[in-house]
Amino acid sequence: MSSLKHSLLLLFVCLVAMSAIAGAAGSGKGRKKGVACPPTKLKRQWGGKPARGINYQLRPIRYVIIHHTVTAECSSFIECADILQGMQGYHQTELNYFDIGYNFLIGNDGLVYEGTGWGVRGAHTYGYNGNGTGIAFIGNFVDKLPSEAALNACRKLLECGVKLGELREDYDLIGASQVITTLSPGLTLYNEIQEWPHWLSNP
């Protein structure tokens, strides 16, 4: 009997410990859920395929690199999802990437679209993929700006990233053309982001 009581006591202690751990984990998730982040469509929601591999980053991330996709623009979920499905297919099949290259993409509908997401290495900016989050505006912004809704979504995404601990509080914001040979994020958008907080003129 003493052996049975001892076993039951050990089982009870284990259950209490597991409950405490689960409670702590749940409270942590609750805090993250309380952070005000912009409306975001997860990859599965826009019809994205699973990544073929994953390389995680050390967080918080130092750099945010802004791009444009040089595709058609999109002003609705259906339009954006169609563009992203084609882009992911091209990145995975033709470029042999694990996934769509960007961490996040933003449409003129004002929605954020998950790419690789937070904390996962993308394939957007050579030399900065390991310690950078790549955010791409869907469209070509050489001669025009994205919609105000899209710009606001990006600003809120950056604030969200800091509050979640995904981005450093002193993160540096740059345009892709500052560090690689490209016209991205487009001259007009590039001029816009130079006015944003955290802009780094000489990375």
**Average pLDDT of the residues of the chain:** 89
The tens digit of pLDDT for each residue in 131-165 reads: 999 999 999 999 999 999 999 999 999 999 999 99
Are 187 and 96 in a shared domain?
yes
23: containing domain: 1-34
Are 19 and 46 in a shared domain?
no
Are 8 and 59 in a shared domain?
no
Are 124 and 152 in a shared domain?
yes
Are 81 and 153 in a shared domain?
yes
Torsion angle of C-alpha atoms 68, 72, 75, 77, degrees rounded to 10: -90
Are 156 and 108 in a shared domain?
yes
Give the C-alpha separation, 124 to 113, whole Å: 15
Q: How many domains does the chain have?
A: 2
Q: What is the pTM of this model?
A: 0.84
Which helix (H) or strand (E) covers residue 41, if one does? strand 40-41
Residue 167 lies in a domain: yes
Residue 203 lies in a domain: no
Give the C-alpha separation, 87 to 102, whole Å: 10
Residue 201 lies in a domain: no
Q: Mean pLDDT in runs of 10 for the chain (203 residues)? A: 48 40 32 78 98 97 99 98 99 98 99 98 98 99 99 98 98 99 98 98 95
